[in-house]
Amino acid sequence: MRLETDVQRLASFAATGQRLGSRLILNNPGDHLQTLALDTHVSHEGASVSGLPEGIELAPGETSELSLTWTLQSNMLESAPLSLFVRAGEQVLRHDLDLEPMAPAVDPFTTPDVPASLQGLADLAWEAIGATFVDPDSGEPIDDLSQRRSGYAHFLIDGMAGSGSSIQVESDLGEALPPIRLAGEGGRVLGVSFNQRSNHDHGDRWREVEVALGDSHDTLEVVETVTLRSGDGEQFFEFEAPRGARYVQLRPLSVWGDEDARRRAHGSGLLRVLGEPHGELAQRRHDLLDHELGGHWVYTRPDISRLYGFQGQRYSARGIMGERQVRRGQRIRGRSIEMVFAFLHQRAARIDELQWVENLDWEGQPVERVRVYTATESSVGPWERQADWRMERDGDGVASLTLPESPRARYLRLVFDEPEEGEGRGENTWRIPESLRAYEADSLGSGRSVLGHWGMDHSRGPLEAEQSPVEFSLVEVEDTHSHVDEPLRLERRITGRVEEPGDTRHYRIDLDEGDNTLAFALQESQRGRLQASLTDPEGTEVPLAWQDGEGGKRFVEALDLTPGTFRLAVAEPPRSVAILWDGSGSVANHQPAIYQALNRFAEGLKPGREVFNMLPLGGPLLIDGWAEYPNQVARTLNVYDGHFSSSDSEPALKLATRALAAQEGEKVIFLITDAEQLGRDMTVWSDLERVRPRVFALEITHGGRRDTDEYRWYQDQMLSWAHVGGGSYRYTTGRSDLIRAFEAGMRELRQPTTFALEVDRRYQEPPEPGSLRVVSGDEPVVAAGVVHLIFDASGSMLRQMEGGRRIEVARRIVQQVLDERIPQSVPVALRAFGHTEPHSCATELLVAPGEDNHAQVRRAVEGIQAINLARTPLADSLDAVLDDLSDYQGQRRLVVMLTDGEETCDGDLEQSVADLIEEGIDVRLNIVGFHIDEIGLQAEFERFAELGGGEYFDSHDGDELVEGLASALAATWRVVNPGGDTLAQGRVDGEAAELDPGDYTLVVEAQQSERQHTFSIAPRQAKEVRLSDALSEPSP
């Protein structure tokens, strides 16, 4: 007996299943007829074989050949060879095959998450839509099982299968659970599914379960006895014929372990009863932002803690927004607010109505107008504007907006300006809505609702079901070998492949007389991974500014070209990868697997292809620069002592994203965490939007019991990060799961990039944008009626730099900026620290604000001396600001803090900023960093400045310090179109902004108030607005 297979090598960790063809050759060398029973076994779970009969007869000398097809599941572990076993009579044959992460998948296929006949059906046993366990005698709802200890019955019907939370049944096997009353009026049941992912050992998981259905709780009929596998993952059982039912009841008959030896509770992870709902539930329009139905807040900008979702919504592992936090409203500070929300599992739904719901007993001015945007691709856009919502409330405080086109939305973004302050006491806040509602256009009974069942642990739903699947990696590739000496002529759409970073495809494009434009469309198997460079007939590079578009494509136009032959090179530059991991106690048992993953990734590093860094949550990047060689990673891990043990992902994501921003090529983050954040940092979303890293989010369970909404909150966060740049999310329960998920991510990352490229040649008029520069005019325009300077004279300011010691350079430049950038009419306060004695945390007001006091400030600055070993009391200095400026409460107040280091006097700088901004619209905080090289500290100062309504400016030499201080003092401006959208922004006397021809409004935050100026831009016009003239006009 022998087995011949079509190939000897299969792909491990492949996202698809694989089919392997083979031939089983049997021979009877004897003199007698042989009757052989045949059987097979595969070393890896979930495999099957077709083409094998139960037995075979072989005559003497006969040879028989059987064609067998082996069907193998996705994500096979590489830890051992794949072994195929065949038994023929008493003989057993073993055939081993190699598993390699980078091997091509053999005859790949995809298995739907949910069988087609059950896809999109309602889970009638879902607690969130009304299902409940009932008392078997009275039929009344019950909270839990009747047993000695709580059975956590709701975990069986909560729609989640968390490894730490599951039903715990203590009754004997063979005893029925209490009946479950299905949601609404029940429905037409087509099948059931179980997910064994739970905190039960495999031996305590159900094996055989009776499923009974009926119209009442006491007349139930067994319709099927199902046999479950013990492994995690959904298992579907479709009934032979649909059954109408109002109730379902389970009777566990056996478990996978030794029933006699079992001493623990038994159970499973999740039950779904899939069917078509009857009655009102089938037609009900559901509010998809109801947190019980999976609606959730994603982020808010700027970072305002009172806007972390709405009342009753979770915003951290320990925090749920309460009424007390929001009923007083939010202080009005003239800001534009952006809030982003998503629905169950971040699926894309059709929305036809929004409601903004206010509690009229709460304080604050009402928001007047909201701009509504939607996105289907990413949590940071691209955004499509849907409506300009003018808030007309009914007597109950509800404002409604109808969306007649029912746009598809995976993410919902609301942008609004804070209202104007009122005149009376307590009218300096705006009213926070109690809730927001988003109604789905598709009912639960339609089979198209995102609340139907579409699978678990991903965001695929009705949108993806309607799209024809395109396996881009399987498209026949035309170009794999073009090179610089043999470019292909690009005349039509062409498909190509780049094998790895450094590989390049080359094309020739002829632009004929009469044409002046080349318009390119590029579709990649991973959008944004490739770079394309265009050179003109003279060999000069033509700049290309690619824009993301629909269908995963990118588009660019090269304009105003001269006819001739152009060259286009498509290449993948080296990619940069950062691995972030959670070292907190809740995931301590996963640390060996995490370190194994780090070393495993490093083994694949090749110079010129990838660079690598790593960051434990709460710590810095561990490698100075980026590693190109495996031994750099090994040395770093050998000396790392595991000191950092935070669970907060957002600061680490921000630090890694900023480090990646300066890198060329694809930017990748592997994030390994249980997502149990205790604090939030919304400023990370600005970095994620700008850089758009590809995030592979691997959730590792800590195994502890948590409520359903907390589990869902962990998953929602990680999905939102993964969706930023085309990454992926995976839920893992143990070492093998984590390694499998990590290796699958590595395989996906290191795959060749296939692409489709097309070009259109045409003539079009050259673009003629204009530009706007905003300048002060007769005297500088600052952002406040009074300026408060905080001067760092701590010991670190004694360090040498070009031009002298830091303190000397800072004194000289502060005096220069005082003379050149602050009008004499603006009072200035000067506070300093570090200038008194060693080890001192004292902070002192050197000059109080007053009229014509610039000469006094100048003399005081000249006298500031840095003292060695003096410390840095940033928080105490900020705490004193409001008293320093107490005589100027009716004016805009600008605080500018100049520092070269972090807080060293045990102050809480974040709390000090929060106390400062509580004063309201009249206070702004700008921070100017001087020689701050640590990315993490820069990020912290940026966050504090944003919390303070201002900005952070970084500087490393005298010229940058001049620029930073001048920018920190200058008034800000923005340009809005007639629809209220901000199209450009900047600072007075700063860079010009490009604008298309049209009519606009310039809004400037001047010394006393916000002023406006209307203007027009003509084609190619370089317009300069002098504020000394423009702001003398009355505001409209």
pLDDT tens-place string over residues 331-380? 888 788 999 999 999 999 999 999 999 999 999 999 999 999 999 999 99
Q: For 128-149, what is the mean pLDDT?
A: 92
Tell me how far apart the alpha carbons of residues 1012 and 1030 are, in angstroms, rounded to a whole number. Answer: 8
Please, which pLDDT band fits residue 471 given cuts at 50, 70 and 90? very low
Across the chain, what does the average pLDDT equal? Answer: 90
| Residue 740: pLDDT over 90 | no
Closest CA to 432 of 533, 309, 329, 521: 329
Percent of the chain at pLDDT above 90? 60
Q: Which residues contact 641 (CB under 8 A, 6 or more apart)?
A: none
| Residue 921: pLDDT over 70 | no
pLDDT tens-place string over residues 85-103? 999 999 999 999 999 877 8
**What DSSP string runs through 360-423?**
TTS-SBPP-EEEEEEESS-BTB--EEEEEEE--B-TTSEEEEE-TT--EESEEEEEEEPPPP-S
Tell me the fold of 291-466: Jelly Rolls (2.60.120)
> Residue 269's pLDDT is what?
95
Tell me the fold of 784-968: Rossmann fold (3.40.50)
Tell me how far apart the alpha carbons of residues 547 and 787 are, in angstroms, rounded to a whole number. Answer: 41
Q: For 835-860, what is the mean pLDDT?
A: 93
Place of tokens 């980078």: 102
Helix, strand, or coil (residue 45): coil
pLDDT tens-place string over residues 13-24? 888 899 999 999
pLDDT tens-place string over residues 489-506? 999 999 999 999 999 999
* Region at 960 (left for phi over 0; alpha for psi -120 to 50; beta for the rest): alpha
Tell me how far apart the alpha carbons of residues 187 and 444 are, in angstroms, rounded to a whole number. Answer: 12
Asked if 280 and 184 count as a contact pair (C-beta separation under 8 A), the reply is yes
> Residue 1035's pLDDT is what?
41
Encoded tokens for 703: 């195994």
Asked if 640 and 594 count as a contact pair (C-beta separation under 8 A), the reply is no
pTM: 0.84
Would you call the peptide bond into 382 cis, given omega within 30 degrees of 0 as the criterion?
A: yes
| Residue 588: pLDDT over 80 | yes
Tell me how far apart the alpha carbons of residues 797 and 806 are, in angstroms, rounded to a whole number. Answer: 5
Helix, strand, or coil (residue 617): coil
Q: For 654-682, what is the mean pLDDT?
A: 92
Helix, strand, or coil (residue 899): strand
Encoded tokens for 267: 């159970």
Angle (nearest 5°) at CA 21 between 15 and 25:
150
Residues of each domain in the chain carrying CATH 2.60.40.2310? 2-109
Closest CA to 876 of 904, 895, 917: 904
> Residue 424's pLDDT is what?
61
CATH code at 575-733: 3.40.50.410
Q: Domain spanning 122-283: which CATH class is it, in words?
A: mainly beta
Q: For 209-223, what is the mean pLDDT?
A: 96
Q: Any idea which of 116-125, 922-931, 988-997 has the lowest mean pLDDT?
A: 922-931
pLDDT tens-place string over residues 684-699? 999 999 999 999 999 9
| Residue 264: pLDDT over 70 | yes
> Residue 426's pLDDT is what?
60
> Residue 185's pLDDT is what?
96
pLDDT tens-place string over residues 756-797? 999 999 998 877 889 999 998 778 888 888 999 999 999 888
Residues of each domain in the chain carrying CATH 3.40.50.410? 575-733, 784-968
| Residue 703: pLDDT over 80 | no
* Per-residue b or e along 764-797, where b marks 16 or more CB atoms closer than 10 Å to that residue's CB: eeeeeebbbbbebbeebbbbbbbbbbbbbbbbbb
| Residue 199: pLDDT over 80 | yes
Would you call the peptide bond into 302 cis, given omega within 30 degrees of 0 as the criterion?
A: yes
| Beta strands 564-571 and 504-511, pairing class | antiparallel
Residues of each domain in the chain carrying CATH 2.60.120.260? 122-283, 291-466
Alpha helices in 865-1022 (DSSP H): 874-879, 881-884, 909-917, 935-947, 958-969
> Residue 469's pLDDT is what?
53
| Residue 987: pLDDT over 60 | yes
Closest CA to 380 of 697, 719, 661, 688: 688
Helix, strand, or coil (residue 326): helix
284 secondary structure, DSSP code? P
State the amino acid at position 1003 in one-letter form: V
> Residue 953's pLDDT is what?
87
State the amino acid at position 59 in one-letter form: A
Q: For 743-763, what is the mean pLDDT?
A: 91
Q: Domain spanning 481-572+758-762: which CATH class is it, in words?
A: mainly beta
Q: For 799-816, what is the mean pLDDT?
A: 86
Tell me how far apart the alpha carbons of residues 907 and 878 are, in angstroms, rounded to a whole number. Answer: 10
Helix, strand, or coil (residue 739): helix
Domain 2-109 CATH assignment equals 2.60.40.2310:
yes
pLDDT tens-place string over residues 532-582? 999 999 999 999 988 887 767 899 999 889 999 999 999 999 999 999 999
Count the neighbouring beta carbons within 10 Å of the beta carbon of residue 110.
11
